[in-house]
Homo-oligomer: A and B are copies of this chain.
Amino acid sequence: MNTITTDASASRECIDVNGRHYRRPQRTTVVICFDGCDPAYIEAATQTGVTPALDAMRRNGHFALADAAMPTFTNPNNVSIVCGAPPSVHGVAGNFYLDRATGETVMMLDAALMRAPTILAGLADIGSPVAVVTAKDKLRKALAFGLDGIAFSAECAKGTTDDEHGIDDAASFVGLPKPDQYSPELSLFVLDAGIRLIEAGRAEVLYLSLSDYVQHKHAPEAPEALAFMAAVDARVARLLELGAVVGITADHGMTDMARPDGAPRVTYLGDVLDAAFGEGATRVICPITDPFVRHHGALGGFVRVHLLKDGLSRQAVHDLLAAQPGVALALTGEEAAARFEMPEDREADFVVVGAEGFALGARAVDHDITQLAGERLRSHGSLSEQRVPFLLSHPLLEAEAGHRLRNFDIFDFVLNRVG
Contact = CB atoms under 8 A, between A and B. Distances in A.
Interface residues of A, number: 39
A1 B116 contact: no
Given A12-B15, A12-B16, A7 B97 contact: no
B101 A7 contact: no
A101 B10 CA distance: 27
A91 B4 CA distance: 9
Given A1-B99, A1-B346, A14 B15 contact: yes
A258 to B, nearest CB: 33
Interface in A1-21: 1-7, 10-19, 21
Contacts of A19: 10
A189 B250 CA distance: 59
A99 B2 CA distance: 8
Contacts of A222: none
A339 B106 CA distance: 61
Contact of A13 (B6, B11, B15, B106): B15
A126 interface: yes
Nearest to A18: B10
Contact of A7 (B21, B112, B116): B116
A117 interface: yes
The quantity of this chain's copies bound in the complex is: 2
Interface in A401-419: 416
Contacts of A99: 1
A1 B101 contact: yes
A1 B114 contact: no
B1 A126 contact: no
A117 B1 contact: no
Interface string A140-174: 00000010000000000000000000000000000
Interface string A89-124: 001000001111100001000001111110001100
A23 interface: yes
A116 B346 contact: no
Contacts of A356: none
Given A4-B115, A101-B1, A21 B10 contact: no
A17 B3 CA distance: 19
Contacts of A17: 10-12
Closest 7 CB pairs of A and B: A11-B117, A21-B21, A14-B16, A4-B115, A12-B16, A14-B14, A11-B122
20 contacts: A1-B97, A1-B100, A2-B101, A3-B112, A6-B114, A6-B116, A10-B17, A10-B19, A11-B15, A11-B16, A11-B18, A11-B117, A12-B15, A12-B16, A13-B15, A13-B125, A13-B126, A14-B14, A14-B15, A14-B21
Interface of A: 1-7, 10-19, 21, 23, 91, 97-101, 106, 112-117, 121-122, 125-126, 146, 346, 416
Given A1-B98, A16-B23, 15 more contacts: A1-B99, A1-B101, A1-B113, A2-B101, A3-B113, A3-B115, A5-B115, A6-B117, A7-B115, A10-B19, A11-B16, A11-B121, A11-B146, A12-B17, A16-B416
